[in-house]
Structure 1
């Protein structure tokens, strides 16, 4: 009899999990052209200290350089870089004029601000991270340059990588303007996801495929929004991409309704979306699209959506992206609400404690001649932020990665010529960062090699042992402080995400029921419906991601989000059912009795789940019209 191995606890399983996927060769090339060449140019100009700062800016920008469109990269790389430059200014000024106690209090306040702002979203989180890292570097890194020079050098390094990101052609991008290659890939992925969902209809994979479709739509929407990269925003290429994205929304709606019904679709149904995906990637005409059998409301909606898509592809007119700007009030609530307060307090306590310990050890001359006290708080930043991963998982990966990276660098430092060999090592490390981001330990090892090389290029001795000691001490501080009891109820980040998803789902349902009361929707009402459906699925995906991270914390922290997963699962089914109702309304102009029963059952289940979990969610009474 075979005995199965016991399952690993979630916090350990998360530490061992790595992302998979093809090698991002474009990002590898950009990484090789970023920190290394910037540092080389500064060394040749005899401005080595500023070159080190510029290389740090390029390195941090490289960590944020993820797959996607060029316009999305402007915000994803640019906003954190600006925050990092501000952090260097604040840190340099504070380090020059404040004593240990005042410096600790100031940086703790900066940690509170950066942590609270990080609750807004991924870009804000990246900005908060670079603000804290740069402020600690500015306060502690012994450089001869003024604060404004450091900030300018930091922006130069990050700006250089961003410029390479915008200008460098994408490999294998042969169709149309290469600057829109990321947008084309994202829109094509939506049609592929629609086809995959149609293939999975009636099977156990339908839920997973629907989640993948949501992710593809989110990425395409993000890719098509953001700063303009052309002089004229109404270019033909951009209008065509907008039209192709907008044409995918009714297809996604029909596919979701078909999957909710549980009826299997023929291979003919998914052939059309796949041809549309090929047309987007290749910039070619769609050609004849096979029509599915019109035997059910969802199949009739799918056929109509394919006809609409064929017309949209031929005309190439701009389409609505069906997105609304996030209200300023929602951003303020994210910062000052329960989630933002908990996030900010956790970051402030850990960052402030790391600064306090580092200041004490620094002034007690524990460091000897190597004044790297800023490593301690900078390391704590990457460990403590909840949206970056569970605390224990990141501590384990950080410790292992630092030890590995420091040992590797010690070997390289013994044989490489200086400074040319170290500059080459910086370039190689920059190229490896995009690949190493698949696992935090691997990323830490690569970054450790890069940082230690920068330290030696700056004229300091080899510091592998000190780097290991600083990291292990930071890990211990974060483990202790990060698990201390805090005022208020824990799990605020998860609760705020679930509440946002709950509100978006009910807003979407209310709109669809309003269409039912009017006997069917107008084209304008359908456009609003697609916008609300996108918001509902996006907020549900964000809530699901927050819950997954919280569940991988240690048990006494993970218990604060217990029950949230069941609520989100019910909300997802409610939104799926609402989508099926919307398709039924378009087909017949009325809500079928079985759909009303499904909605009533799901709303009752949601109420019961809320009572069991103890999560406080807004009550939204909804009249169900037959």
Structure 2
């Protein structure tokens, strides 16, 4: 909230104070969009999370400015429609790519429709300056209460500590009704910590002692997570003593201190022995401080994998739907451009459609309803201040307040829409235009109707491509992990990396399935049965983890391990003999 208050408002004030109101408005818009992408986490990861979408937005603004000035309505509509196809396809790559695709389209719509005397390069520079200012605030300002050691790594420290807490919570829940949810929470904590430690490097050399220590502590958590998962698979409750060690390690990470003596769990079976050994290794890594642990870098999709996602079934489905909505929005806006009720903000229609139609932002129908309700409420809220506040000082103060509220409002799409509506209407008036509440409402409602209709139209190819692509990736990762474990390889770091990839891709598939299932029946029916496939993959990966722990301890699998593996492989339809199962002990 502090960063939000110091971003859009001061930028707008600087623009108005220096006589460069239009660049100030663009900088404030960029800061607002960056604020929507600003999430808790590590500072280094925020460079990519905020910077890549900002670069895409500036590129869209540049292209839209020159296209809007040089092209007539029909060619302009075709160019923006093609841009929608590209941006939609890119959005299938991942969360950062999705945000970049959205800002690319929003920037293009603003550039083509917002009149300005500045050149495209000047407008793009103002946009980058606005987003860059928020990024500077993100990197420079400490988080309250984060002064345990080097505050620059407060996000990384919190993320690693949450992994140890999640291990302890899973151990407490083993054998109970909440065990499955706790195992999923452990996966989420590991994903978050992996991303936090894998941000772009901001220094030339190997990093500070604090950074090396955090990497060693994260590496030490991986065998603990593996042992806890094996205990979860066994289903036998463990004593409360087992979770005390991970909790003390979590407190040590948060306080940047040593863990002290750790209580050893009972060593009555293979998984408990693995847990005990993992605690001993973790204590050694904590005591060594900077330890020489192998650096485990988070997954970064290669250019080949990113291209595969963009042109695959999921990317094509994204691309065509975004292309259709964005292009239709542009065409309708151009056709109504000179009508009295439409006004001069025709770019609001395609920009709103770009925000609404993205399939990864939640169920389409609920997004439309939340957007409509939030816009109407925001316009009504703004009507009072618009008539009473002094200009421009009062409106600039209102922009600052809205900037501070954006991080809170992002928790619900309707609340976010309300705050953004007030902020945008204030920016319009600061820019010298009349109050535009009615125009904003009409544009948004038209965009909602457009997206609701086009979002449920039949599209080329088989529907549910994103879910199928995520499940296929999870299946490949599970297969690679299983082959490594049964192949009796000695590289445990590689095994842990494959395990991380298997659980991560499975979590992404679960997210895609949940989003698809929450759509209206016309869309949800295309992914029916996907949950059952994810359940089988989850059992396979859990069993593989239990097999890895048992093989480390005993060298051979039990009949239960072999039986569970064979059952999961049969349900998934793996060809006979593709994964040769070892003989069971006893």
Q: Which of the residues 291, 312, 329 maps onto 1:337? A: 312
Verify: 1:365 aligned to 2:339, yes or no.
yes
Partner of 2:168: 195
Verify: 1:83 aligned to 2:81, yes or no.
no
Q: Measure the CA separation in 1 of the matches of 2:386 and 2:130.
A: 24
Q: How far off its partner does 1:324 sit?
A: 4.9
Partner of 1:144: 117
Q: How far off its partner does 1:231 sit?
A: 4.7
State how 1:395-410 maps to structure 2 within 5 Å: 395-410=368-383
Q: How far off its partner does 1:618 sit?
A: 9.7
Q: How far off its partner does 1:318 sit?
A: 4.2
Structure 1, residues 442-474: CA drift from partner, whole Å, max 9, x if none? 000000000000000000000001100000000
| Residues 548 and 302 of structure 1, relative CA distance in 2, 3 Å threshold | same
Q: Which of the residues 538, 559, 581 maps onto 1:624? A: 581
Q: How far off its partner does 1:619 sit?
A: 9.6
Q: Measure the CA separation in 1 of the matches of 2:537 and 2:401.
A: 46
Q: How far off its partner does 1:329 sit?
A: 2.1
Q: Which of the residues 374, 379, 385 maps onto 2:358? A: 385
Partner of 1:585: 551
Q: Measure the CA separation in 2 of the matches of 1:532 and 1:309.
A: 20
Partner of 1:346: 321
Q: How far off its partner does 1:526 sit?
A: 1.2
Q: Which of the residues 90, 97, 113 maps onto 1:117? A: 90
Residue aligned with 1:193, SS: helix
- After superposition, the CA RMSD in angstroms is 1.3
Aligned positions, number? 581
Q: How far off its partner does 1:341 sit?
A: 0.5
Verify: 1:603 aligned to 2:569, yes or no.
yes
Partner of 2:536: 570
Structure 1, residues 223-281: CA drift from partner, whole Å, max 9, x if none? 00121234533321111000000000000000000011001011110000000000000
Q: Measure the CA separation in 2 of the matches of 1:606 and 1:149.
A: 55
Q: How far off its partner does 1:147 sit?
A: 0.8
Residue aligned with 1:293, SS: coil
| Residues 398 and 324 of structure 1, relative CA distance in 2, 3 Å threshold | closer
Q: Measure the CA separation in 1 of the matches of 2:105 and 2:481.
A: 39
Native 8 Å contact 1:58 1:157 kept in 2:
yes
Native 8 Å contact 2:170 2:183 kept in 1:
yes
Greater mean alpha carbon deviation, residues 232-241 or residues 259-268: 232-241
Residue aligned with 1:75, SS: helix
Q: How far off its partner does 1:322 sit?
A: 5.6
Q: Measure the CA separation in 1 of the matches of 2:71 and 2:340.
A: 21
Native 8 Å contact 1:52 1:454 kept in 2:
yes
Residue aligned with 1:190, SS: helix
Partner of 1:15: none
Verify: 1:528 aligned to 2:494, yes or no.
yes
Q: How far off its partner does 1:621 sit?
A: 2.3
Verify: 1:302 aligned to 2:275, yes or no.
yes
Q: Measure the CA separation in 2 of the matches of 1:137 and 1:325.
A: 31
Native 8 Å contact 2:409 2:415 kept in 1:
yes
Q: Measure the CA separation in 2 of the matches of 1:33 and 1:98.
A: 38
Native 8 Å contact 1:501 1:540 kept in 2:
yes
Q: Which of the residues 73, 84, 87 maps onto 1:100? A: 73
Verify: 1:65 aligned to 2:31, yes or no.
no
Native 8 Å contact 1:503 1:618 kept in 2:
no
Q: How far off its partner does 1:431 sit?
A: 0.4
Q: Which of the residues 445, 467, 479 maps onto 1:506? A: 479
Q: How far off its partner does 1:532 sit?
A: 0.3
Q: Measure the CA separation in 1 of the matches of 2:48 and 2:260.
A: 37
Native 8 Å contact 1:238 1:318 kept in 2:
no
State how 1:107-506 maps to structure 2 within 5 Å: 107-316=80-289, 317-319=291-293, 320-321=295-296, 323-362=298-337, 364-367=338-341, 370-506=343-479
| Residues 325 and 62 of structure 1, relative CA distance in 2, 3 Å threshold | closer
Q: Measure the CA separation in 1 of the matches of 2:403 and 2:349.
A: 22
Residue aligned with 1:624, SS: coil
Q: How far off its partner does 1:170 sit?
A: 1.2
Structure 1, residues 279-315: CA drift from partner, whole Å, max 9, x if none? 0000111100000000011100000000000000111
| Residues 168 and 618 of structure 1, relative CA distance in 2, 3 Å threshold | farther
| Residues 32 and 206 of structure 1, relative CA distance in 2, 3 Å threshold | same
Native 8 Å contact 1:506 1:620 kept in 2:
no
Q: Measure the CA separation in 2 of the matches of 1:65 and 1:147.
A: 26
> TM-score if structure 1 supplies the norm length?
0.91
Q: Measure the CA separation in 2 of the matches of 1:487 and 1:408.
A: 42
